[in-house]
Structure 1
Amino acid sequence: MNIIAYAVRPDEIDAINKYATLLNLHVEVVSEPLSATTVDNAKGFDGVIFLGLCDVNRSVLSSLNQMGIKYIASRSAGYNNVDMKAADEFGIKVSNATYSPHCVADFAVMMILMSIRKLKPMMKRNDAHDYALEGLQGKEMKNLTIGVLGTGRIGAQTAHNLSGFGCKILGYDIFPNNDLYSILTYVDLETFMRECDVITIHAPLLHSTKHIINRDSLSLTKPGVVIVNCARAELIDTDALIEFIESGHIGAAALDVFPDEVGIIHKDNRMNLVNNHRLSILNSHHNVLITPHAAFYTDQAVSDMVEVSLRSIKSFLETGTSHWEVRP
């Protein structure tokens, strides 16, 4: 079985070699993302694995179909970079990756702590030898109500992490997790937005969840609310978020994702023009933390993502199905 792997980072090589050997696969590694200009490299291969930064659009899928490639697997959890309708039309099966929930859950709690303890301005001041305390007074977790929006694997682990701090935890999910009733209280969305001091977002990006954080929902929140997003940028109406930050209503925001991040994240852009107006605005504020879609980035998660994608392709090729298959 011959597989081509696109957008491979150096940190993935060891895992690719390990699981290729274990699963008896031949894997060709390509550093460039899968796109209309690189798709021809897939000729002669049985399957394709790729990352979430790849633009797997109709044109790319049409080319793969013409090559006879019917199975593709993302090494990322999200798959909104894939035109799923076109994949279905071409009869191409798609899977995504699952990985340790601890990586994002740990990162989310770190972002909460950094926000409520004002680490960004504190560290910037230290760089300038300003060691004054004025304006840096923070809050304690045990005194806060923290809301977990989306309680799937990552949201559930985040709630478990938070439970050790003694804070009150609220949850919102249309499919409540029965295993979490001992550590959080589920409420409706309006109550959730009104009562939380901190909101950490872990929902999938669906038509029903796009811009679930918007002007109307933010208008319900407490003054000084903290918004943390380690899921998908489109879950938040970023223009509304900026409006509420600049009005002073939002106390802090910590974002591991931001609009139009593809082409910016996971690249050194120090010598490039970064043409993203919203990102520039967000980065300019002392109470906004921006990280480069890195919450997932641990040794365990990288290994898991490679393993799942290769096992998925092998399963597709051998049985026509995969445990990790996603559908339109």
Structure 2
Amino acid sequence: LAKNITGLSGYQTYHYVVLVRDENGNVSIYSPASIMTLDTTAPNIGSGLVFSNIDRYSVTATWGAGSDTGGSNDVQYKVVRASSAAAIDTVAEIQAISGSNIIRDWASSTSVNATGILSLTTHFFNVIMRDGAGNMAVYSPASFNTPGTIFVTGGNFAGDFTAPNETRPEAAIAKADYQCNHDANKPNDTKSYKAMVVLTGVRVACTSANCATNGANEHIDWVLKPSTIYKNLQNNIVDTTSSTGLFTFDHLNNDDPDDPFYGLDNPIFGSGNYAWTGMRANYTSNASQCQNWSSKLSGQTGAVGISGSYTNTVLFAGQTNTCDTYIKLICVEQ
């Protein structure tokens, strides 16, 4: 004999007993039995991912605690990452994530400090939660951008981008990039760097003042990414670029109330060393570029910026140096 019982709650213990009687009304009782029903209800997620303390190689991720309506409780969370939001927006996709893409395995806390992540990168994280019965629910993926690094070379270079008594086989801009990637001040990472130097037709920031005419379409192999935070080697924010990929120089510096000015949040370098740029203060190319950055002769000149400046004189100091001068390069992470 059997009886189908419906309307029960999940993850609850029910106790049953069976009575039997004969035609004369005599009653006997079976031994009682108990059963726990299964929890098949997915837990409810909490509020979404929020990122804080975003640095070049680390971030803190927090999210709202979920709840278990099925009764099994013991809620835990796992945090994963991927190269796109679409790759981690279902239970099956997240369950397939393995290795270093698991930021944190199952645990009960609702925050994690992720370290060892790539700088100058858009990262996509997501959280999956489970209850004590193994039912799962997925939060919505969220993204953040890690800052990039900008630094000034320790080495000094002539207008052909060679150090004293050095010859190099690369073309002009490639030679400047080589110096950035082999300089003692380059961070100890696997990323590549390019020199913030322009050369008509090879590396161009803007063809109109501040790229006002065609925006980012004016760039050729430009070194700054749009809407990106850049930090100096002291881990101070230099500036956040515009959607066009230019420093905006819009931070109000009023440490001296008698002389406030707008500029970078912090300088690229702590002192005012000159650096080759080949630019004007509005990001357009300067005609003075040491014979297309091929000359180290005293009779020719190249446009320079001030690496320790807060203002757009970091692009153009209002002067040129003779090409036999050995000065700095400004290097930007790619």
TM over 0.5: no
Relative contact order higher in (CA < 8 Å, ≥ 6 apart): 1
Higher Cα radius of gyration: 2
Give the alignment's TM-score, normalised by structure 1: 0.23
Answer 1 or 2: which has greater helix percent. 1
Give the alignment's TM-score, normalised by structure 2: 0.23
Answer 1 or 2: which has greater strand percent. 2
